[in-house]
Structure 1
C-alpha cells in the first residue's frame, strides 16, 4: 500500500551522491566522504507527515467497510423482508444482519468518529452514516417503550438503550446522540438521551462519596473505563441543558477516580481499584488509559472555563499526556500494558491516544511543538493497521479486569473487535485538523512543527 508521506529520502540520496561522487565505488563511505548523519534510517513505520488526501483515503476504507457491514434497516426475522412502515413493527422485528451492534458503547464512539470526520473533510457521507442509524433507533423507540411498559420481556432490538443495566449501555451512545443533535440531526433523540442520563445520574451504583462503581469482579470496584462511559455524556448534557449539576458530577468523577487510580510517579492510571484490597495491583492497560485521556479532552471541550474544576481537569490531562508520551514505542504504537514492552503493540489504544493528543493540541491544552511529532508518528502507525478491506488490525477484544499479568498479555486480537473503528475515525479526523492549521518540516532528518518566525 502506497503512503503519501513527505520524507527526505530523495534529497538525502542526492546529497550523498554529491559528496561521494569522487569516491571509488568500491570504497565505503566514511565521515570524510559523506554526511553520514543524513543516512536514511530503516524505519519500521513510515516517518513524516501524511497528506490530507492520504488520511482521507484511509478513513474512506474504514467507512466503506462499516457501511457495508453495519445494519441500517429493520427486517422481519420470519420473512427476512425489510420493514419500511413503522406500523408493522412487532416481536419479530430485528436489525438486518451485520457485523457490529448499533447500540453498543463501541458504536457510540464510531458514531462520534463519523460525525467528526464530516467536520474535518466536509464530506457529509460520514455524518449520514451516524444520522441514519441514530434516527432509526429514535424512530422505533416509542413503539418498544410502550410494549415494554406492558411486558418487560417483550423482544426489542434496542432493549440495551431502553433499559440500560450498566454504564456501557448508556454513556458513549448518549454522548454521541447529544453531539448529533447539537450538529443538527432532525430526530427525536431527547427521550433516549433523558433515559440514559437518568440511569447515569440516578441508577448506576456508586460508592458513598458518589464515585461511579461496579460490584464486579469484586464488590465496590472502580473501572477506569467508566470514566469514559459516564463523563463525556455528563459533560455533553451540561452543554445541552446549561445545568451545572452535570458539569459538577463530571468533574467529581475525574477527581475521585484520579485520587484512587492515578500513579503520580509514572503519570498513568491503573485499570482497576477495589475498595477492600489493602494493596492495589497496578496494571496500566492501554485502552483503559485511552478512555481516560479521551474523557479529559472531551470534558474540557465543553466545561466552562470559569468552572471551579476546569484547571484541575486541565492539569490532569497534561500529566496524563506526559506519562503516555514517555512510553510510546519507537514504532509509534503503544503496548497492551503501557509500561511493559514485552506485551504486544495495540492499535485501538494507539488510535485513541492519537485522537486525544491531537485534539489537545488543536484546542491549545498542551504544547503543540512538543507533541505534534508524537501524533504524526502515532497516526502513521495506526494507518498501517487499516488494511485494503478497511479492517482495523491488531485490536484487543473486549476485556474485563484482571489482577495478574497473563490476563492482559494474552488477550486475543480480532479485526471484528469493535473498539478499533471509532478511534481510527476520530484519530484521522483530528490529525486532518492538525495538518490544516499547522506546517511541518524535516530539520536535520527529524520531523518538526514549523515555527512561525
Structure 2
C-alpha cells in the first residue's frame, strides 16, 4: 500500500498542476466572424471538452469489453502457500492458503462492487463473459475460504489469526473485523448465489458476513453503525454502502424483514445527521462528540450513499412504510448532485469546490445512481437524463486504451480540513473506479433501451420527444 500511495502521488502531481492551471483560465467560447444573433447555433461546430452526443449501446459495450479484458489479467485467481508465497493450484491446495498480491485483488470491498457491475452487465447485455468472470472468482473464494477454515487451529479468531506474510486475505472472510471486510463482498456473493453461481460454496460466508454486519459491528446507542476511528463514535458516509446493500440483499435472500428494516434505519439515521438539505449533499463524516460538525462534501462518499440508496430501493417492498421518506431523500440528493456537476461532465473531488480535481469513481457512481432512478421511474428523465448522458460521456474519456480507469482517488480516511481531500492522490490501481463504471455502463444501456426519444434539439440534449413549435 505504501508503494501504491507513493506511485499515486507521482501520478497525481501533473494532474493537480494541470487542473490548477486550467482553473485560472476562463472557458473559451469560440465564435465565427459571421456569427450574429441571426445565425442558427446548430450550424457552428462547438469545441466541447466532452462529446456532446448520445452514446450508443455499441459504444458502451466496446468500453466495458475493454475493461473486462484488462481486469481478467489484472485480478486473476492466484492461490498461494500462505507461509512461503509459492504458487498453488486450486485442485491441490497447501494446508495454509492465501491469495497472491496481484495488481487488483479479488477479495476486497472494491471488487465486491466490480462483481455487482459484471452481474448487471451480463443481465442487461446477455454477454456471458461478465457472468463467467464473477462465477470463476466467487467459486474460488468459497473454495479457498472453506479450505483455510478447515486447516486453522481450533480457537482461531480475528485477533489471533495467523497473519503470515501472504495469508491476510483470508482473515476478512473467515473473521471479519470491520464493515469494509464484509458489506460490499457480502452483497455481491448474495447476488451471485441468487443467480445460481458459486457452485453452492457461498452460503457459509454470506451468513458469516451478514452476522457480522447485523450483530457484531460497533453501533451508537440508537443502532446506527459507527466506528471508533479516527475519533470515538464517528459515522463514515462510506459505511452506507459497506452495510446497506448487504442488509438489503440479506432481506431478499432470507425473506427476513429485520435485515431490510435495519438497512432502512441506517439510511434514515445517517441522513438525519449528515445530509445537508440546503445543498442536497452529504458531509463525509460526523463525530458525535464534535461541535460544530465540519462539512466536507467528498465526492466518493456521496457516491457510496446514492449507490446504497438505489440498492435498497431496488429491493424494498413498494408498501414499506418508510419508502416515501427514502425517495424524498434520494430525489433531493440527486438534485443536489446534478446542480454540482462540473461543466465538462465529471464531478469534483470536493463537490462544491471547483478548485478540486475531477474524480472518476464518484462520477461513475452518480451516473449509475441517477440512471437507475430514471430506469425505475423514481426520477424524471427529462430533468435528470441530460446530466447522465454528459456524465457518462465524461467518464468514458477516463478509461484508457488498456481498460484502466484513470483519475480515481486512492483509499481515503476522514479529514476535517479541505487540503486533506484536495491533495489525495489518484492512481489506475485504485480499484474503486472499476465497479462503478461497469454499473454505470449497464444502467446506461438499459436507459437507452427504455427511452427511445432522446437526442439533440436546437443543440441541446433532450430526454423526451422535442416539439418544433
Same fold (TM over 0.5): yes
Deviations 1:69-126 (A, max 9, x none): 112142446584441325x3312x3334521222110010011011111112111111
| Unmatched runs of 5 consecutive residues or more in structure 1 | 1-26
The answer to whether the Cα contact below 8 Å between 1:71 and 1:95 also exists between their aligned partners in 2 is: no
| Cα deviations by residue, 1:395-452 (Å, 9 ceiling, x for unpaired) | 0000000001100010000010010011111111110111111121210011111339
- Whether contact under 8 Å (1:74, 1:95) holds in the other structure is yes
Q: 1:176 aligns with which of 188, 199, 224?
A: 188
Equivalent pair of 1:137/1:158 in contact (CA under 8 Å): no
Deviation, structure 1 residue 368: 1.0
Deviations 1:349-403 (A, max 9, x none): 0000011101111011111111111101000000000000111000000000000
Aligned partner of 1:303 among 300, 316, 327: 316
Q: 2:242 aligns with which of 226, 229, 232?
A: 229
Report Cα offsets for 1:192-229 as digits up to 9, x if no partner. 01100111011100000000000011000000000110
Is residue 248–residue 259 contact of structure 2 (8 Å, CA) maintained in 1? yes
Match in the other structure for 1:35: 40
The aligned residue for residue 163 of structure 1 is: 175
Q: CA deviation at 1:187?
A: 2.7
Q: Relative to structure 1, is the Cα distance of residues 404 and 28 closer, same or farther in structure 2, using a 3 angstrom cutoff?
A: closer
- State the shift of 1:37 in Å: 5.8
Q: Residue 136 of structure 2: which of 126, 132, 138 is its match?
A: 132
Q: Does residue 57 of the first structure (1) align with residue 69 of the second (2)?
A: no
1:101 matched to 2:105? The reply is: yes
Which residue of structure 2 lines up, in the alignment, with residue 449 of structure 1? Answer: 463
Q: How far apart in 1 are the matches of 2:186 and 2:41?
A: 55
Residue pair 2:115, 2:435 contacting (<8 A) in 1 also:
yes
Q: What SS does the aligned partner of 2:151 have?
A: helix
- For residues 141 and 443 of structure 1, the distance between their equivalents in structure 2, rounded to whole angstroms, comes to 55
2:150 is matched with which residue: 125, 129, 146? 146
Match of 2:360 among 323, 336, 347: 347
Cα distance in structure 2, aligned partners of 1:81 and 1:287: 36
Asked which structure has the greater CA Rg, the reply is 1
Helix, strand or coil at the partner of 2:152 = helix
- Give the match for residue 388 of structure 1: 401
2:91 paired residue number: 85
Q: 1:246 to 1:168 in 2, by over 3 A?
A: same
- On the 8 A contact 1:271/1:284 being kept in 2, the answer is yes
Q: Retained in 2: the 8 A contact 1:271–1:288?
A: yes
Normalising by structure 1, report the TM-score.
Answer: 0.90
Separation in structure 2 between the aligned mates of residue 304 and residue 43 of structure 1, nearest angstrom: 43
- TM-superposed CA distance for 1:149, in Å, is 5.0
Aligned residues: 425
2-structure distance, mates of 1:37, 1:46: 15
Higher mean alpha-carbon deviation, 439-448 vs 144-153, is at 144-153
Q: Structure 2 regions of 5+ residues with no counterpart?
A: 1-31
Do the aligned residues in 1 keep the contact of 2:457 with 2:466 (CA within 8 Å)? no
Distance, in Å, in 1 between the alignment partners of 2:374 and 2:265 is 24
* Aligned residue number for residue 122 of structure 1: 126
Which sits farther off after the overlay, 66-75 or 43-52? Answer: 66-75
Distance apart, 1:33 and its partner CA: 7.3
Partner of 1:209: 222
What secondary structure is seen at the aligned counterpart in 2 of 1:283?
Answer: coil
Q: Tell whether the 8 Å contact from 1:38 to 1:444 is kept in structure 2 after alignment.
A: no
Q: Distance in 1 between matches of 2:42 and 2:104?
A: 49
In structure 2, C-alpha distance between the alignment counterparts of 1:354 and 1:35, rounded to whole Å = 31
Task: Say which is worse superposed, 265-274 or 305-314, in terms of deviation.
Answer: 305-314
Structure 1: distance between partners of 2:385 and 2:411: 30
81 and 206 in structure 1: CA distance in 2 versus 1, 3 angstrom threshold: closer
Could you tell me whether the CA contact under 8 Å between 1:343 and 1:409 is conserved in 2? yes
Give me the whole-angstrom Cα distance separating, in 2, the residues matched to 1:76 and 1:222: 38
- Alignment of 1:374 with 2:387, yes or no, is yes
